[in-house]
Structure 1
Amino acid sequence: MSRRQQPGAGWGSAAQPEQHYLIEPRYLAGGGDLRHVAEYLRASGWTDTTRRSQAAFVFVSPDRMLRVAYQPPGGWQIQGAGTGPGSPWQAALSPQTPVEIVAGLTDTLTKARSAHAPNVWAPLAEHGWNTERGHHFTATAPDGNAMVQYVQGEPGQQHWWIGARNEHGSVWNATATPTTPLHLLQGLTTALADPEPVMRPRGHVPPSHRVRTTSVSVLPQQLSAWQQARTAAARAATWARNQATATRSRPARPAAPNARAR
């Protein structure tokens, strides 16, 4: 939602309302503002390890096991070290992947895993995506412009593939190793299938007849307030999680002696 797709481009620099556009489907909306991802990670206690000379950013989780990086022109690189043999994983998303969809995965990295078994395909089916079980398991958006696929190749070649295209060709794509935790991929497909439009400023609307746009006038302080609400939610969730961890790790207090005991 910024004028530039770089961290540090100041929101709220103008006092007058600015024209923005609500775009749907979101998977054809273009990249968006990188801080949608970066500031949530920062608010969740992740460490910014970006070198000052780099245009990209790099964030590392508090336990140093997870890494999220954006490096133009390559795009997003998200990695997990894993805790056992064969468990390291990684996902790569091209630069024009909408940040709201990237955040579906990266926001999930900061949260505790649900006790329920993850299902990558459930959010897609819920929103009417067409599934096909052939050589590869595939889900296609109702408009045919986005796809999720688990590619069954030779041993060592299996992988996840997600992508979108418009009348001009491929818009973005993402790949993930088969060891990528399924709850993270479910976070991504939940964001991918979400029918809510996303906002882009004037000049950042993709030149495609396959997107639907609604013009809105937005004050800079409104943009700032929306971002602050998102980061405040991340801080609150991190504080609650840290408090719960501290409570579990605190040793039990011994029972007070009974004054009447003989």
Structure 2
Amino acid sequence: MKKKQWQGWGSGEQAEQAEQAEQAEQAEQHYLIRPRALAGGGDVRHVSEFLRASGWRDKSKTGGPLHMESPDRTVRIAYDPSVLPGGWIIHGRADGATGEWSAHLGRQTPVEIVAGLTDALTRPRSAHAPNVWAPLQEQNWHTRFEGQNYMATSPDGSTWMQYRQSPDGAAMWWTGAQDKQGNGWTATITPNTPMHLVQAFSTELASPDPVMRPRGRVPHSAQIRTWSVSVTPSQLSAWQQARITAARAANWARNTRPRTSARPYAPAGSARTRH
């Protein structure tokens, strides 16, 4: 009756919009998943929208795979799920002594873990010396030597990170996750990849925080734990927007920082001149 009366005021379109908004705001079932390494790939926009908000160029073609390029054009990121083995390719151009470096991450690498590395590409390096193993050890991962290789394994045994060295001197970072049914992913990172990026990756790899996936996107695995949560579209949008807003703010701060030049050396005791 109320609905008919409201429409009688000549506001049928408004009532319909209100009803659509109410329906759109109905809570949807999602699941929190732990360990995060076995949660599946997730939404690629978690990575790409952050980079775009950080000033990266989107070089993707309509309907094609994702291609992003850093503002200085030294790093490129691609994601293509349509080819085998598919997944993420992150490539850094030669930079001084580092040389070219790359990371290849499988399609089922959770986007939250991928973002550990890609988000770090947008931030200045820390003054502290990076330590790839520290985030793993802080989460009680088992670290040890296995021959020439140094290995870290998660407490449940599902996830690992290894620095592999072959007798001929070749080396690489090798990491991944696998459940008892054989589902999972692997990733390789070249040894000359800047260490602060590898540490950012290992930090997200070892994080005990669960990640969220919508209903229908939860892997069938006996080794994951799930919690059902009800989430409205506006809540999801707000969480996503908070991440994008943070990226934009950091990008603005980087681009508006005043440039300073070193003052010429003045001997002690010399008169100071105001400019």
Q: Which amino acid aligns with 1:198?
A: V
Cα deviations by residue, 1:105-157 (Å, 9 ceiling, x for unpaired)? 00000000001000000000000000012320000000000000000114463
Q: Percent identity?
A: 57
Match of 1:10 in 2: none
Name the CA distance, whole Å, in 2 between partners of 1:66 and 1:251: 34
After TM superposition, give the deviation of residue 52 of structure 1 in Å.
1.4
Name the CA distance, whole Å, in 2 between partners of 1:179 and 1:14: 48
**Aligned Cα root-mean-square deviation (Å):** 1.9
Name the CA distance, whole Å, in 2 between partners of 1:59 and 1:215: 34
Q: Which amino acid aligns with 1:224?
A: S
After TM superposition, give the deviation of residue 249 of structure 1 in Å.
6.3
Within-5 A mapping of 1:180-259: 180-244=193-257, 246-248=258-260, 255-256=274-275
Match of 1:76 in 2: 88
TM-score by length of 1: 0.88
TM-score by length of 2: 0.84
Q: Larger radius of gyration, structure 1 or 2? A: 2
Q: Which amino acid aligns with 2:159?
A: A
**Count of equivalent residues:** 241
Cα deviations by residue, 1:51-95 (Å, 9 ceiling, x for unpaired)? 1141x1111000000111101131000010022356110000000
- Of 62, 65, 72, which aligns to 2:74? 65
- Of 119, 123, 145, which aligns to 2:135? 123
Structure 2: gaps of 5 or more residues: 1-22, 265-272
- Of 168, 174, 190, which aligns to 1:177? 190
Q: Which amino acid aligns with 1:15?
A: E
Structure 2 CA distance for partners of 1:241 and 1:167, relative to 1, 3 Å? same
Structure 1: gaps of 5 or more residues: 1-12, 257-262
Structure 2 CA distance for partners of 1:250 and 1:237, relative to 1, 3 Å? farther
Cα deviations by residue, 1:34-58 (Å, 9 ceiling, x for unpaired)? 000000000000000011141x111
Name the CA distance, whole Å, in 2 between partners of 1:27 and 1:219: 25
Q: Which amino acid aligns with 1:174?
A: A
Match of 1:47 in 2: 57
Match of 1:133 in 2: 145
- Of 16, 25, 38, which aligns to 2:48? 38
After TM superposition, give the deviation of residue 247 of structure 1 in Å.
2.6
